[in-house]
Amino acid sequence: MILFERVSKRYPNGREALTNVSFRIESGEMVFLTGRSGAGKSTVLKLVALLERPTRGTVTVNGKSTGALKARHIPAFRRQLGVVFQDHKLLADRPIFDNVALPLVVAGAPLKEIDRRARAALDQVGLLGKERMLPAELSVGEQQRVGIARAVVSKPPLIIADEPTGNLDPDLSLEVMRLFRRFSDVGVTVLVATHDQHIVRELAKREIVLASGEIQGQGDGGALPHVVATR
């Protein structure tokens, strides 16, 4: 589903965010991307979501190499992908329903289907009944779940999340992560960048550890104690 082959990324300001990174994530897998701030987690996600292109190497997502993708094909590419942000990037002036429905509206789904699927997505994150409220009327945890509902509403085969629990207390964090695990259980590929070691251990999924733009280690179930030591 995601394949990085000797990927390097240098930003225009000269900072080398990733150096020679290679890894593979299979379809239906749930993987944590960990490491300190600035280790390159966000850059990996940006490369997957085609917010950036690799300087060297190839990134293949869903069978498509992102380096060669023409600008006019990017929208269709992004529709195959659900993205969750730490700051959830909701539209503050639109009700919850409109926020969740946006990917379907953009894709040109029929109104009936938009209504049905947006409700289904809100139901999945336990927010059915709040669709007419504005984002600011919800708690931080609820807002994050709205962001997740938006990411899954069009049933993409791949979901990526950048520090989705960054602003949440431990209980809420675990709840959100279990939500991700449920999607992965039904065959969705999930890639989550986090520095919450507690959660990584709790969910016992594969972990890719980044440090200074390089892969420091990979392992299952958060069995990489040195990461904790370096924090």
Partner 1 sequence: MSPAIFGTRHLQALLGSLGRLKRNAVATLLTLLVIGLALALPAALGLFITNAQSATGGFSQAIDMSVYLKSDVPLAKARQLAADARQRAGIAQVTVIAADEGLEQFRRYSGFGAALDALKSNPLPNVLHVVPRRDASSEAQLQLLRGYFAAWPEVDVVQLDTDWVLRFNAILAVLRRLVLIAAALLGAGVLAVVGNTIRLEILNRRAEIEVTKLVGGTNAFVRRPFLYTGLLYGVGGAALAWVILEIALLVLDQPVATLAQLYGSRYALQGPSGQVLGALFGGGMVLGWLGAWISAHRHLRSIEPRA
Q: Which residues bind partner 1 (CB under 8 A)?
A: 42, 45-46, 49, 51, 72, 75-79, 83, 85, 89-91, 102-103, 105-111, 150, 162
Task: Please choose, from the candidates 144, 149, 3, the residue with its C-alpha nearest in 3D space to the C-alpha of residue 62.
Answer: 3
Instruction: Give the pair of three-digit tokens for residue 107.
Output: 């894709």
* 100 vs 224, beta carbon nearer partner 1: 100
Residue 195 vs 224, nearer CB to partner 1: 195
**Min separation Cβ 161 and partner 1, Å:** 11
Contacts of residue 141, defined as CB under 8 A and 6 or more positions apart, other chains included, come to: 168, 172, 175, 176
Report the nearest approach of partner 1 to the CB of residue 91 (Å). 5
Taking the least distance from each CB to partner 1, the nearer of 136 and 229 is 136
| DSSP designation for 135 | G
C-beta of 124: minimal distance to partner 1 in Å?
A: 17
Residues facing 2 on adjacent strands: 25, 61
Min dist. Cβ of residue 79 to partner 1 (A): 4
Q: Which is nearer to partner 1, 19 or 42 (CB)?
A: 42
Alpha-carbon distance 160 to 210, whole Å? 16
